[in-house]
Amino acid sequence: MVVHRSGKGGIVAQERESDEQLLKRIAAGDQDALLALYDRYGRLVYSLAYQVLRDHQLAEEVTQDVFTRVWAAAHTFDPERSKFTTWLNTITRNRAIDILRQRRVRGLTGAGEAELNTAITRADERFLPEHHLRALAVREALAELPEAQRDVLELAYFGGLTQREIAEKLGIPLGTVKTRMRLGMMKLRDMLTSKPGKERDDGSDAARQSAGEGEHV
């Protein structure tokens, strides 16, 4: 948060720093900036990690790893290339899937996969305030997808399964999986690019204010 003070010491304006501004401070070694970013995205990272791993201890480990990586690699983020949340979610998902696949090899996978199909269509969950619109848009878009297409997307993204593994798991031809995945992603793309939440994601102050988000450090 950037706080401007009047000549008499009173606070006259407050602006929330963008993700990119925080990342610049992080790259300069500002620990408070990383903690501010954690306050903003810690729940998102933790929730995604838990969704993949279904284990709170592992989700904690992933969350800590992710923010340590952000600390180490903030200077490599290119805002021209992607949004910060895309970068962050990708790091988180990859870290969680790495662990999931290792556990799968060792026969340690939990009940995660069995719950995948119901996980993202549940309607009674709390939203992250700053991502309220985005979450609504994604859920609405997913709900509009045919179930067969939604299933393969979930198995790939949250289950870390390849197309071949999905085909084996579902007992359907590989070509069918490929088709469902391609069509599902194309539809999601079309729907999300036309949703209001799409344009008001992450760095947008307007989205946060409209979602009623409070102040952050």
Minimum gap (Å) between residue 2 Cβ and another protein: 20
Task: Quote the CA–CA distance of 123 and 177 in Å, as a whole number.
Answer: 27
Minimum gap (Å) between residue 162 Cβ and another protein: 5
Minimum gap (Å) between residue 140 Cβ and another protein: 10
Which CB, 16 or 207, lies closer to another protein?
207
The kind and range of the H/E element at 77 are none
Minimum gap (Å) between residue 189 Cβ and another protein: 5
Which CB, 15 or 60, lies closer to another protein?
60
Other beta carbons within 10 angstroms of residue 16's beta carbon come to 18
**Residues whose CB falls within 8 Å of the CB of residue 39, separated by 6 or more in sequence, listed in order:** 216, 217
Task: Quote the CA–CA distance of 93 and 49 in Å, as a whole number.
Answer: 7
Which CB, 19 or 138, lies closer to another protein?
138
Which CB, 18 or 179, lies closer to another protein?
179
Which CB, 9 or 78, lies closer to another protein?
78
Minimum gap (Å) between residue 160 Cβ and another protein: 7
User: Using a CB cutoff of 8 Å and minimum separation of 24, what contacts does 132-136 make?
Assistant: 132/207, 132/211, 133/196, 133/197, 133/200, 133/201, 133/207, 133/210, 133/211, 134/197, 134/198, 134/200, 134/201, 134/207, 135/197, 136/197
Q: Are 5 and 12 contacting, i.e. CB atoms less than 8 angstroms apart?
A: yes
